[in-house]
């Protein structure tokens, strides 16, 4: 029985190698959603979501605009299996 580890915005951003503001921007523009939201509105992120953040960062750094990355996700054309850990 493995408990899934959930991180708040700050620790999740640090784990993914981006700033807290960048993570909040990714949320705002619809690139990702929190894994869970508490009753008080605190957004929490699991390992899979953090890996997605890393993929967004990698794609953006390689020249993909965020809009194109969002469209790839919406089309279901990304696969985390091939991304580096």
Q: What is the pLDDT of residue 78?
A: 60
Q: What is the pLDDT of residue 77?
A: 65
Q: Which residue has the higher pLDDT, 31 or 4?
A: 31
Distance (Å, rounded) from C-alpha 81 to C-alpha 67?
Answer: 22
Q: What is the pLDDT of residue 79?
A: 57
Structural domain spans, the chain: 9-76
Q: What is the pLDDT of residue 1?
A: 38
> Global pTM?
0.81
Report the CATH fold assignment for 9-76: Multidrug-efflux Transporter Regulator; Chain: A; Domain 2 (1.10.1660)
pLDDT tens by residue, 31-79: 999 999 999 999 999 999 999 999 999 999 999 999 999 998 888 766 5
Distance (Å, rounded) from C-alpha 75 to C-alpha 85?
Answer: 23
Q: Which residues pair with 19 in a beta bridge?
A: none
């Amino acid at each position: 029985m493995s408990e899934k580890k959930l991180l708040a915005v700050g620790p999740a951003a640090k784990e993914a190698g981006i700033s807290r503001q960048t993570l909040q921007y990714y949320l705002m523009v619809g690139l990702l959603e929190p894994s869970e939201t508490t009753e008080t509105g605190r957004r929490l992120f699991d390992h899979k979501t953090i890996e997605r953040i890393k993929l967004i960062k990698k794609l953006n750094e390689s020249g993909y605009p965020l809009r194109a990355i969002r469209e790839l996700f919406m089309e279901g054309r990304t696969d985390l299996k091939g991304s580096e850990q």
